[in-house]
Amino acid sequence: MPESNIELAGNKNIKTSKVEKSVDTPADFTSPEELYNDLIEKVKMYHPSSDLSDIERAYKVAKKAHEGQFDQSGVPYIFHPIHLAEQMEDETTTCIALLHDVLEDTPLTVQDLEKDFSEEIVQTVLLLTHAPSDDYLDYVRRLCQSPLARKVKLADIAHNTDETRLSGTTPAPEQLKHWRTKYAAAKEIIREYENIP
């Protein structure tokens, strides 16, 4: 599925529909299915039921929606939501983490999600969706109204600031500085909000 890069405050989003640096061999990364199976094993440790259908549905929706998208290192983009989902400790936030970028970066709509997911999941994914016209820090302040959105966003920021994900690419120093500043400010806003009694 083609994706146009989104401009955020004059900077291009790191998702792309073409690989600018390809992964050398399939052995260079674990398949999304293997990562998903690892996620399910982790979920079974805290999930009281054998019914994992919501998580499975969220994974399938996210995988299909992000198909053909890659990060700057040429890794399939679906790895990012799976990584976030692995950081969660309950079914709802796991689903939200898997779906957190589908409204922002794919043609999926709120109405599409409402067909398959609870209002709580859909509304939280909507809060996590940053419109290009919105100031980034205003968006972060808005999502702070939801503890679920805060939890997923903190995991998102942690993964987005992991510069080892940029292996094989060399972002311009001003781009790195912009990302570091933006994410540090967002993290501070969320941490301050969580300290409010």
Comparison of pLDDT for 94 and 12, the residue scoring more? 94
**DSSP secondary structure string, 15-71?**
-BSS-SS--SSGGGS--HHHHHHHHHHHHHHH-SSS--HHHHHHHHHHHHHTTT-B-
Comparison of pLDDT for 30 and 131, the residue scoring more? 131
Average pLDDT over residues 179-184: 95
The pLDDT confidence band at residue 28, using thresholds 50, 70 and 90, is low
pTM, rounded to two decimals: 0.79
Q: Of 43-47, 54-58, 106-110, 145-149, where does mean pLDDT reach its minimum?
A: 43-47
The contacts of residue 59 (CB under 8 Å, 6+ apart) are 36, 39, 82, 85, 98
Cβ atoms 148, 93 nearer than 8 A? yes
Cβ atoms 57, 116 nearer than 8 A? yes
Residue 65 corresponds to which amino acid? A
Residue 36's CB: how many other CB atoms inside 10 A? 22
Per the structure block, which two tokens stand in for 168? 């094989």
The pLDDT confidence band at residue 2, using thresholds 50, 70 and 90, is very low
Residue 47 has pLDDT above 60, yes or no: yes
